[in-house]
Amino acid sequence: MCDIATAFTAISTGVSMMGFFQQQRYDRQEEMYRQQALEMQRRQQEENAKQAMLAAQQRINDRKRQALQNAKSNKASLAASGVNLDSPSFGAFFRSSKKTVKQDISRIQINGLTDVVNYQSEARQTGLAKEASLAGAKSRATAARYGAIGTAIGTAGTLAQAGYDYYKNR
């Protein structure tokens, strides 16, 4: 009777160890896919930061073009009406327009930089999440290995005791 129990204990341990190794393989594969997904996400966020920078520069260029067109149009309209463009009031008007354009460009730069910083921050956070995920996977794998080793040692002890008892009582 003791031989059957010992055999089943050994078989059970063998099947458990096979399951353990299979689970370890699947866990490594899952972690590899998670790492790839996080890396792709990080790269996309870095690309978004570059795109935000380019978009802000494009908005700045558009605003400068618009300001230049408005200035030309205003000067042409005023000149056609016979107004003296060198007068102090029109000088103040043109200076005010230039000041407004500079303020607009500053706002566009600040908003663009804010977007860039946000995307770069997200990319750094994703990089940290990737590292944390990898560290967690390694620690879970190590803990599972120690658990399997402990189970195997416990089973080996049970089998050794059963073998000792069997031969002692013979």
Q: What is the predicted pLDDT for the residue at 61?
A: 96
Q: DSSP class of residue 87?
A: S
What lies within 8 Å, CB to CB, of 2 at 6+ separation is: 162, 165, 166
* 123 CB neighbour count, 10 Å cutoff: 19
Q: DSSP class of residue 1?
A: -
The predicted-structure confidence for 114-157, as pLDDT tens digits, reads as follows: 999 999 999 999 999 999 998 998 998 898 888 888 888 888 88
Tell me the mean pLDDT in the region 158-165.
83
The predicted-structure confidence for 71-130, as pLDDT tens digits, reads as follows: 888 888 877 877 777 778 777 878 888 899 999 999 999 999 999 999 999 999 999 999
> What's the chain's average pLDDT?
88
Residue with tokens 């995307």: 119
Contact 13, 152 (CB under 8 A): yes
Q: What is the predicted pLDDT for the residue at 1?
A: 44
Give dist(CA 163, CA 167) in Å, integer: 6
The predicted-structure confidence for 15-32, as pLDDT tens digits, reads as follows: 888 888 899 999 889 999
pTM, entire model: 0.68
Choice between 1 and 120, residue whose per-residue pLDDT is larger: 120
Give dist(CA 164, CA 89) in Å, integer: 111
Give dist(CA 43, CA 82) in Å, integer: 59
What lies within 8 Å, CB to CB, of 155 at 6+ separation is: 9, 10, 12, 13
Contact 104, 33 (CB under 8 A): no
Sign of the Cα torsion 76, 77, 83, 86 reads negative
